[in-house]
Amino acid sequence: MAFLSKASCKLNYLRDRLAERAVRALPASTMTVTCRRPVVSFTFDDVPCTALSAGARILEEYGVRGTFYIAGGLLNQVEPDRNMISVQGCHELAEAGHELGCHTFGHEIVHTLSGRALRENLDRNGALLDTFERPVKKRNFAYPYNQGSLWHRQLIADRYQTARGGGDRINRGTVNRGFLWGMEIRQPEQDALALVRQIDEVVKNPGWLIFFTHDVSDTPTPYGCTPSTFSTLVRYAVSSNCLVLPVRDALEHVRG
């Protein structure tokens, strides 16, 4: 039995990797990243309370702003290892000039939904985000679990300016606008801190480095980091003369 479950784990892993390669290989829409000055975006998925109380505050200390990909159904949720942002918290982010992006309503994996269910889901989340800030024509999106969808790629490309996955790479040259590369800030802490080297890379050869993380806490989950490390990364990006911008504003600079 152990052998079988190990084999099925491996098969699932291979299936997911193949699906990701297919989504990347067949973009619905591309864009060209050409920038003279390196651009760095700090983004948060799901948005635990500490992304506001520590993450947003640290960005503000350095005079910059970030992108927060909200899943409306997670608001106010209390999870075993984290509490999620409140309605009031979303208002605070918007008032401070941060960008609110979409992360589906209930954190569903996009490729598990039908086209109709996905449209309804995204409409619902978009309507909620419109209550926090002035409605915008097209927001930015991040895929739950970084899992894109071959089937829905056109729908996502039509609705959003960009959609971000993972992959731990810097965006340069021709990139898939519906599946941008994201660089994860996560545990172990020394790996998170070593991401300053990625900032060196984007300075050496300018492109668009999009970081993403979750909680910013002294006792981080595996998917977050400490305030000290987050602060180090933001300070390093700012002092390296990178443009540190939310995704919405970065777009004006990375397209030449």
Q: Confirm or reject binding of residue 144 to Zn ion (CB under 5 A).
A: yes
Q: Which is nearer to Zn ion, 31 or 180 (CB)?
A: 180
**Contact (CB, 8 A) for 113 and 150:** no
Site for Zn ion in 33-52 (CB under 5 A): 45-46
Tell me if 184 contacts Zn ion by CB under 5 A. no
Q: Where are the alpha helices (DSSP H) in the chain?
A: 2-25, 49-50, 57-61, 87-95, 115-130, 153-159, 189-193, 196-204, 227-239, 247-254
Of 54-62, 140-148, 159-167, 229-237, the segment contacting Zn ion by CB under 5 A is 140-148
**Cβ distance to Zn ion smaller for residue 106 or 188:** 106
Closer to Zn ion by CB, 166 or 206: give it.
166
Q: Does 20 bind Zn ion (CB under 5 A)?
A: no
Question: Closest approach of Cβ 243 to Zn ion, in Å?
Answer: 26
User: How far is Cα 86 from Cα 65, in angstroms, rounded to an integer?
Assistant: 19
Report whether 189 contacts 232 (CB < 8 A).
no
Binding window for Zn ion (CB under 5 A); candidates: 49-57, 122-130, 143-151, 171-179: 143-151
Tokens of 137: 């024509």
Give the whole-angstrom CA distance, residue 236 versus residue 132: 31
**Which spans of this chain sit near Zn ion (rule: CB under 5 A)?**
45-46, 144
